[in-house]
Amino acid sequence: MQKMALLNQIHDFIEQKTVFNDVTFHGKGVHLNKLATIVIKPSLKPGIFFQRIDIPGSLPIPAHFRFVKNTNFSTYLEKDHVSIQTIEHVLAALEGCGVTNAIIEVDGSEIPILDGSAIVFYNELIKSPLRSLNQSYPIYHLAEQIIVETSYGHIKAWPTPHSYASFHMTINAKNRFGDKLGHQSLSYSMDQDFKNIAMARTFGCYEEGLLMQQKGLALGASLDNTLVIKDHDILNPSGMRIDNEMARHKILDAIGDFSLFPQKIIAHFDIYNGGHTLNHLFLQKLDSLKISKDI
C-alpha cells in the first residue's frame, strides 16, 4: 500500500496542440551516417508517432517507452520489426514547443543529427503557429519521491508545486574529460527559455568515438555535430557553445526521453550522470508504480 502512494494522479490537463503545417528536415544520422528526410505533420490523435515511409505497409511507431528497444548511445524504438533510432532530440524540441500530437514521417531508420543539438528542430517549429485542438492531454503530478539508482548515477524525482517540470543535472566524469570539463552542474525549469537547452550539442571522447565506430556506431559523428574532447580539451575550434553545455545536453536528452511516458510528468528531477538507459529505467519504475496504484 505504501508503494501505491508514491504516484498520485491529479486530474489536471493541458490542451492538445499540433503543428499547423508540415515541417521538414534533412540530414544524416549520427550513428548510421545515412541521409534521411523527416516531415513533422499535423495530427488529431494524441501523442507522437513515427511513420517509416520507406517501408511500405508498416504501421506507425508510437513514441512510447514500452517500444524502446535499445538505449545504447541513443534512444531506439521498435514495433513489429520496424525501428527508428536517435529520436530524443526531435522529441525534446516538440516538448519544448508544446506539441503533444504529431506524425513524423521518415524515409530511413535514423533521425538526422543536424548540428548535434535540438536547436534546428526548435527554430523551425516555432516559425509556425501551433494549432490548438480543444482536447485535453493528461498530466501526472508526482506525490512522493521516486529514486532510481545504478552503479554510475541516479535519478531522484520529487513533487513540485509548479505546473511544469524542473531539472538539476550533474555530470561527474573527470576520469573521462579531466578536471576542467569533467564536472558540470546546471538547473533548469520548463518555464525558462528552451533555447538555452536546445542549443546544447551531443558530446563525447575522441578515443571512445573511435571505438564506437569499430562497432558500427557514431559513423556520422564529426566536429560539425559533436562536441569532441581529447586529452581533456575540446577539439572543436569554437569551443563550447554555451556554459555547461554537456550538462545542458543531458537535460535535453532527459526531456526527450521523458516525453515517451504517456502522460506529461510534473516533478523536480535531480539527475546525476544521467543517460538514456537511466532515463528509461526511471520511466519503467514510474509505470510500475502507476500500475500498482491502479490495481
* Mean of pLDDT values over 86-110: 98
| In the predicted structure, residue 236 carries a pLDDT above the cut 90 | yes
pLDDT band at 292 (very low <50, low <70, confident <90, very high): low
Distance from chain centroid for Cα 141: 20
pLDDT tens by residue, 138-158: 999 999 999 999 999 999 999
User: Is there a contact between 83 and 54 (Cβ–Cβ < 8 Å)?
Assistant: no
Cα–Cα distance measured from residue 222 to residue 156, given in angstroms and rounded to the nearest whole number: 33
Per-residue pLDDT, 3: 36
E strands, the chain, are: 7-8, 13-19, 23-28, 35-41, 47-52, 61-62, 68-70, 76-79, 82-85, 101-106, 130-142, 146-149, 154-158, 166-172, 183-189, 203-205, 227-230, 233-234, 264-266, 268-272
Per-residue pLDDT, 28: 98
User: Is there a contact between 15 and 136 (Cβ–Cβ < 8 Å)?
Assistant: yes
Of the candidates 80, 82, 75, 24, the residue with the CA atom closest to the CA atom of residue 52? 82
Please give the residue that has the higher pLDDT: either 278 or 292: 278
Q: Which residues contact 93 (CB under 8 A, 6 or more apart)?
A: 118, 121, 122, 125, 198
Active site residues: 276
Length reported for the chain: 295
pLDDT band at 291 (very low <50, low <70, confident <90, very high): low
pLDDT tens by residue, 246-256: 999 999 999 99
